[in-house]
Amino acid sequence: MNPLLKINKKLNSIATKYKKLISCIKSYMDIYFPNKYNFTYKTQKYTFNMIFASIIDFIKSGSSYHNYVGIVNSKTLNFHVNFFARNFDSIYTYIYNKYQHNIHTIKHLSIDTSFIGNKYGSQFLGRNKYFKNKRGYKLSLLIDNKGIANSILIRPGNLNDKNIGIEHLNKINFISKLNRNAYMLADKGYDSNDFKTKCKTINCQPLIAQNKRNIKDTNKFVSINKSLLKIYKKRILVENIFARIKKYNRINYICDSYFTYVFYVYLALCITTIYKYL
């Protein structure tokens, strides 16, 4: 088979699989950038579906722009990636609002943070003493019981997890959707009075593993009872989301500017979870 035909077939299959997601993004573009991808300008060569399928293929391949082989050439691909990097946080909010209309209540929330090592990045990095003093980001997700990220934060690698968690809760926008007995599931990195108090202000019960590092009196150790342990085990969902998006090398390591990296994270979350519920 002709290599170009093979690539074209692959991109068409991507466009078909993520048809709802791409059409949702296209509807946003038609509202806020009506002349951008409608062949208004003579310089437009590719359809919106072909461009966005190429971006998804690029993030999945993990290759550099120089080595990427596709219908859309590398310079054009880089141009469109930079455009979406400036606008995709608002696009994700638009997509998430569509998803919210399809859910009734949120039973529990899960929060976690992962350290992302640096390769070629230069912006907003921080050294983390727990990872051999390497520079990088902290990627933090706050997800609901269906695995959809409501809040995404990428901060310098030297920040404390509980401070990032409090920042998540300050920008939370679905309090009305929370079940009356909703739990906040978190690991021992979030075991602090400040974070627990903030959880209670949004009517969410903190269910957090105890940090035993600085407790010298063993009588103060607290274990989670069996009924709550079943709920707490559902925190594995946020770990699974990290495992899915870290399959893409562009997310597992920092190889781009800060805003481009943020775009890759948003896009990876779209193509791994939220596209199923649109």
Asked if 126 and 199 touch (Cβ cutoff 8 Å), the reply is: no
Q: Where in the chain is the domain with CATH 3.30.420.10?
A: 104-259
Q: What is the DSSP string of 43-101?
A: T--S-HHHHHHHHHHHHHH---TTT--SSS-HHHHHHHHHHHHHHHHHHHHHHHHHHHT
Quote the CA–CA distance of 123 and 130 in Å, as a whole number.
20
Asked if 96 and 274 touch (Cβ cutoff 8 Å), the reply is: yes
Please give the span between the terminal C-alpha atoms of the chain, in angstroms, as a whole number. Answer: 35
With 0-12 / 13-18 / 19 or more C-beta atoms within 10 angstroms meaning exposed / middle / buried, residue 216 is exposed
Secondary structure element (H or E) that encloses residue 103, with its range: none
Fold of the CATH domain 104-259: Nucleotidyltransferase; domain 5 (3.30.420)
In this predicted model, what pLDDT tens digit does every residue of 228-249 receive, in sequence order?
A: 889 999 999 999 999 999 988 8
pLDDT at site 212: 77
Provide the sign of the torsion angle of the four alpha carbons 170, 172, 173, 177, taken in this order: negative
In this predicted model, what pLDDT tens digit does every residue of 48-69 receive, in sequence order?
A: 999 999 999 998 888 888 888 8
pLDDT at site 168: 92
pLDDT at site 241: 93
